[in-house]
Chain A
Amino acid sequence: MDKSKLLLSTILNSRLLTTGIILFLFVSLFGVVGGWFIDPEMADVGAGYPSQPPSWEHWLGTDQQGRDVLSDLLLGTPQTLKIGLIAAFVGVGIGTIFGFVGGYFGGKIDVLIRLLSDVFMTIPGLLILIVIASLLDIVSTTLLGFVIATFGWMGACRVTRAQVLTMRERAYVQVAKLNGVNDFEIIFKEMLPNLLPFIAASLTGATAGAVLASLGLSALGLGPQNEPSIGLTIYWALHYGALIRELWWWFMPPVVVMILLFLSLFLITAGLDQIANPRLKDKI
C-alpha cells in the first residue's frame, strides 16, 4: 500500500477524526459556499425592518439594526475561521521552529527557548491580548490573527522539542549523521515527517484556542469592528440586550455555529492524538 492510501485508511479508521473532519467541513462550507448565495448588502445596517423574527424573506430574522442574521452569519463565519487559521499556522509554525532549534541543538539556545515558553505559558494570554487590544486599535481580522499567534506557539514548541529530543538519539538519525548528512536535511527529511501528526494536532488545538481568544476579545468589544465576525455578532447581541428582549434568532445561531466548530476541532484533536499515541486508542 502506498503512503497516501495508508494515510487515508488511517484517517477513515478513526471514527473521532472522520466525524470531526466532516463537522469542520460542514461549518466551513456553511460559511464559504453559503456566502455565494446571499447578497452581501443583506448584512448591512437597514437591510430589513429591525428585530424581526424569522420569516420567508429573512430565514433567521433581523437584528436590532435590520441586518439579516443569516447573511451576517454567513459572512462572519469565514472571518472567524480566518482569524483562527492565521493564528494557528503562524503560532504553530513559530512553535515548531523553536522546538526544533531547542531540541536539536540544545545548549544555551535551548535554555533560552524553554525559559521563554515557560514564561509565556504562565502569563494568561487572553489578559495580555486584552491589554494590547484595548490600547492599540486592532482594525482587521488578519491583524487580530497575527496578534493572537504571539500567544499560540508554546504548545507546539513543547511537543516538538520533546519529540526531537527522543528522535535525536534514534538509530536512523544517528546513521544519517554518521553518513555526513547535514543538520538541515536530517531535520526536514528524517524528523519532520514523523512529527506531522503532532503538528497537525497542535494546529487544530491552536485553531480552537485562537477562535476562542478572538471570540473573547470581540465579545468584550475589543475585536475589529468593521468586518463581520461571529464574535462581533455576539458582541452586538449582548450589547443591545438581545437576551432580555428574547430575540433568540439573533444570539442563538452564532452560539450554535461556534459550538459546532469547537466540537469539530475537539474531535479532530482527539482523533489525531489517537493516531500519534496509539496507546490511547482504547481509552477514548
Chain B
Amino acid sequence: MSWDYVIKRFLLFLAVIFVAVTINFIIPRLRDTNPIEERLYQLAAQGGVNVSKIKELTAIYEAKYGLDKSVGEQYLNYWNDIFHLDFGWTIADRTPVINEIMRAVPWTIGLLSVATLIAFVVGTVFGALLAWPKTGNFVKYFVPLLMTLSAIPYYLLGIVFIYLFAINWGVLPTAGAFGFGVKPGWTLEMITSVMWHAIMPAASIVLTSIGFWGLGMRGMMITTMGEDYMKFAEYKGLKDWRVFLSYGVRNAMLPQVTGLAISLGTILAGSVLVEVIFAYPGLGNLLYRAITSNDYFLLQGIILFIIVSLGFSLFLIDLVYPLVDPRINLEGGENG
C-alpha cells in the first residue's frame, strides 16, 4: 500500500468531517429566530420559566454557550469543542449530549449488526444457490419475491408488521427494547425480553435487505461459474459441495465482504426510521426525540457523531481493503 493512497483517503476523511461540521454550524445560523429564546418560551408555556425575564435569561444562556461572540470565534470554538468530543448539553434536561449518545449507541449497534449479519448470511447463501446449476428449481421461484421485498423501505414493512403481529394477532410486543417490568442487567429474563422485542425490527430489516445481498451474490457467482478453475475442479472429480463452497462461493465472496464491511461501517446512519416506528431506544429514536423537543444541541451532536464515526469506519475500510484484495486499484478511482 502506498503512502500516497493512505494520505489521499485520509484527506477525504478530513474533507467529510469539515463539510459536515461546517454545514452543521451554518444551518442553525440561517434561522431568523433564536433557538434558546424559542425553547425558553416553550418551557414557559409548560409553566416552568418566568416569562417576564426571558430576554435576560436568553442573554445569560447566550453568554454561557458563547453565542455572544463573533461568528468567526464561534466557528473556532465549535471546532475546539468537537476535538474534545464535547457536543454541549441537551437543552431539555441539561445532561451532556455525549452521554445521551453513548447510552443509545449500544442499542443501535446491537440491533443493526445482528440484523445485517443475518441478512448477509442468508442472502449470500441464497444468491450462491440461485447461480448453482444443480440447485432445485423451487429456489428460483423466490427471485421475484426477493426483488419485491428489496424494493420496499424497511420502515413501511415495519408498519405492516406491527399491525399484523403486535396488534392484530398480539403475538409480539409493539414497541421498546425490553418489557416494562424487566430489570435491566445480564439476567436471563432481560436477555430473552430483549431478543423477543428485537424480532420485529430485525425481521423488517432482514427481509428487505436479503434481496440486496442475494442478487449481488448471484451476479458474482455467475461470473465465477464461467472461470476455468471451476471447470478444472469439476473435471478433477471433486465432490459437488466442495466445488460449490471452496471454489465457487469462496471466490465470489469478496465483493460481498466489502459490502458487509461498508454496511457495518454505516450502521449508525441506517436505522433512524425503523427505530422511530418501533420506539427502539437507539440513536434514531434519540434523534427523533431531539427533533420533537427542538433540542438542537442534541440533534447536531447526534448527527456529527454519526458522520464522524461513519467517515472514520469508511476510511478504515479503505485502508484494509487493498490488503484483503491485492487486485484493487490503488489509485482509488474506478478508472483512475
Contacts and interface: CB of A to CB of B under 8 A. Distances in A.
A119 B147 CA distance: 30
B323 interface: no
Contact of B159 (A115, A166, A255): A255
A275 interface: no
A243 B163 contact: yes
Interface in B30-79: 30-31
A73 interface: no
A283 B12 contact: no
A131 B27 contact: yes
Nearest to B215: A284
B199 interface: no
Interface string B140-184: 000000011011110110011011000110000010000000000
B23 interface: yes
Nearest to B287: A130
A244 B296 CA distance: 30
B238 interface: no
A66 interface: no
B311 A259 contact: no
Interface in A94-146: 114-115, 118-119, 122-124, 126-128, 130-132, 134-136
Q: Which of A127, A212, A280 has the most CB of B within 10 A?
A: A127
Contacts of A248: 163
Main secondary structure on B side of the interface with A:
helix
A127 B306 contact: yes
A251 B292 CA distance: 21
A128 B168 CA distance: 36
Interface stretch (A31-39, A184-192, A214-222): A214-222
A30 interface: no
> For the complex, would chain A's binding face be called helix, strand, loop or mixed by DSSP majority?
helix
Given A127-B269, A162-B335, A255-B159, A283 B303 contact: no
Nearest to B131: A283
Interface stretch (B13-21, B187-195, B252-260): B13-21
B15 A119 contact: yes
B269 A135 contact: no
B167 A215 contact: no
Interface string A221-249: 11000000000001000100001101010
Contacts, number: 124
B219 interface: yes
Contacts of A262: 151-153
Contacts of B113: none
A200 interface: no
Nearest to B143: A284
Contacts of A127: 269, 272, 303, 306-307
Nearest to A264: B151
B319 to A, nearest CB: 15
Nearest to B174: A244
B128 interface: no
B263 interface: no
Contacts of B24: 131
B152 A135 contact: no
Chain B contact-residue range equals 35 or more
A244 B163 CA distance: 8
B316 interface: no
B27 A132 contact: yes
A258 interface: yes
A201 interface: no
Contacts of A258: 153, 156
Contacts of B110: none
A251 B303 contact: no
A165 interface: yes
Contacts of A284: 147, 215
B155 A219 contact: yes
Contacts of B292: 221
Given A128-B303, A219-B273, A243 B27 contact: no
A248 B272 CA distance: 24
B229 to A, nearest CB: 21
B151 A266 contact: yes
B166 to A, nearest CB: 8
11 contacts: A115-B12, A118-B12, A118-B15, A127-B272, A131-B23, A166-B335, A220-B272, A243-B163, A244-B167, A259-B151, A283-B219
Interface of B: 12, 15-16, 19-20, 23-24, 27-28, 30-31, 147-148, 150-153, 155-156, 159-160, 162-163, 167-168, 174, 215, 218-219, 222, 266, 269-270, 272-273, 276-277, 287-288, 291-292, 296, 299-300, 303, 306-307, 310-311, 314, 333-335
Closest 6 CB pairs of A and B: A266-B151, A124-B269, A122-B16, A262-B151, A263-B151, A165-B335
Given A134-B299, A135-B30, A283-B222, 15 more contacts: A122-B12, A123-B19, A127-B269, A127-B303, A130-B272, A131-B24, A134-B296, A135-B28, A166-B335, A220-B272, A221-B291, A248-B163, A259-B151, A263-B152, A266-B151
